Amino acid sequence: DIQMTQFPSSLSASVGDRVTVTCRASQTVTTFLNWYQHKPGRAPKLLIYAASSLQSGVPSRFSGAGSGTDFTLTINSLQPEDFATYYCQQSYSNSWTFGQGTRVEI
Amino acid sequence: QVQLQESGPGLVKPSETLSLTCTVSGDSMRSYYWSWIRQSPTKGLEWIGYVYYSGSTSYNPSLKSRVSMSIDMTKNQFSLRLNSVTAADTAVYYCARGSIVAAGRRIDHWGQGTPVTVS
């Protein structure tokens, strides 16, 4: 199993802030790393795929970087609708895994 | 636009089998990974497994002994069976589509989720 560790587990931020979430894999996942946004009562939403590619329709303030074992999700100029939980997910192995999530709070 | 819709009982008794079906509309099922993911009340997202359009499967090792998935492309449906359930299996269950892209595989479409309680 490839374990995915996110940090921090939660953070507090204000509208307009720049926020960075980190995800570390227990072994290389090359660029098979995705980021999702999840709000209560809604389906998760794909933000970034293949480590750094922006999913169609996702605002450009979201960006992803990294390869191998270390990855980041950055939100530039945090907006009110961005308060949510963010998950990384690897699809390198045939047993996919999610990180434990990072809750972004006001 | 592809849409996914989960269906199945919202209440399952302990030790019995949880069975869910996902109906896909708006696109072919060919060439995709058809996945199940859940979120329990106090935890994050947990990948349960997938069934590839060819019928091959991959399951979460922690659930592998209790899980089976299948696909019926003639009905545009895929299914999840989880046996010997306990209260720990109480969760919102999502069906989702995984697609292959350059340098990766992504989960790009999700159902709305269906809550299942084991009690």
Distance to chain A for B94, nearest Cα, Å: 8
> Is residue B102 scored above 90 in pLDDT?
no
How many interchain CB pairs under 8 A, A with B?
A: 76
pLDDT digits (tens, 9 = 90+) for B2-34: 999 999 999 999 999 999 999 999 999 999 999
> Is residue B42 scored above 90 in pLDDT?
no
Element (H, E) at A37: strand A33-38
pLDDT digits (tens, 9 = 90+) for B64-88: 999 999 999 999 999 999 999 999 9
Burial state string for A21-37 with b = 16 or more CB within 10 A and e = fewer than 16:
bbbbbeeebebbbbbbb
Mutate which: B5, B106, B108, vs A, most A CBs within 10 A? B106
B94 touches chain A (CB under 8 A): yes
Distance to chain B for A16, nearest Cα, Å: 27
pLDDT digits (tens, 9 = 90+) for A25-72: 999 999 999 999 999 999 999 999 999 999 999 999 999 999 999 999
pLDDT of residue B103: 84
Q: What is the mean pLDDT of chain A?
A: 97
pLDDT of residue B41: 84
